[in-house]
Copies of this chain bind each other. A is one copy, B any other.
């Protein structure tokens, strides 16, 4: 059996790196073969799963420096029916890739806005006068580097290797503890996925809207979890897109959706919210630097 996995491309993005890790993990632990399918955006990766073009997608959810990847959250809420199978947590080490012989000759630096933001201190210190240009992915600018030695790109070591380009500086992220969390998502009832999905899942992700302009509207849902001793590992608000000041809340809880306390919490929760979407229960696979 071969399964297909959508991800933000082209090859060499951090999302592809996480997807490659997952492909290896599937082969080693499940004897399952998987192929990667690059898409130009996160939204298109998720849509590929929703319409059945691929069986899985690997998408970034949150970075320890730059916070939530809002495109992932907004698309999951919109597509409605996708389920999270696994979370992957991957260390992020940025490198400066360029054909320049020294930092002095660099005039322009390209990368994805999140990567640029994660290296802004380093850029201010070592390249204070360069022009910084955002791209759709960390790898988009790599093909320009050989033609123009005055430009550089911020991407992964893997990207430099894949494109056979020189690394000018390594580990240029402002904080060494830089991690990104990814989700592996599928349609709810894919046979291939049932075989590989985790048993005894430790985390559940869900999102809900609350009645507009009611004082304490968020407090009551949070109390439901606290009273049942369920810990929240993350809470994030997103606009409903209806009007300024109306929000959806995305919550990760440290419990399985089928546990007794969660069943009770979910039943209670329905009294205080408008729309509830449960994105599934899953385990976390940490990726060590050695495995990359």
A: residues with CB less than 8 A from B are 43, 62-67, 70-71, 89, 113, 117, 120, 132-136, 175, 177, 179, 181, 215-216, 218-219, 222-223, 226, 229, 231-239, 241-245, 247
User: What CA separation (Å) do A244 and B287 show in the bound complex?
Assistant: 14
Point out the residues of chain B lying under 8 angstroms from A175, CB to CB.
241-242
Q: Do residues A232 and B244 form an inter-chain contact, with CB atoms below 8 A?
A: no
Within the assembled complex, what's the spacing in Å between the Cα atoms of A222 and B70? 24
Look across to chain B and name the residue whose beta carbon is closest to the beta carbon of A113.
Answer: B113
A182 to chain B: closest CB distance in Å?
12
Determine how many copies of this chain the complex contains. Answer: 2
In the complex, are the beta carbons of A237 and B236 less than 8 A apart? Answer: yes
Known: A89-B244, A113-B113, A215-B231. A239 touches B67 (CB 8 A): yes
Contact between chains at A64 and B239 (CB < 8 Å): yes
Given known A134-B134, A215-B226, A244-B179, contact A234–B237 (CB-CB < 8 A): yes
**Interchain nearest-CB distance for A27 vs B (Å):** 27
CA distance A244 to B91 in the complex (A): 10
Contact for A219 among B136, B215, B223, B234, CB less than 8 A: B223
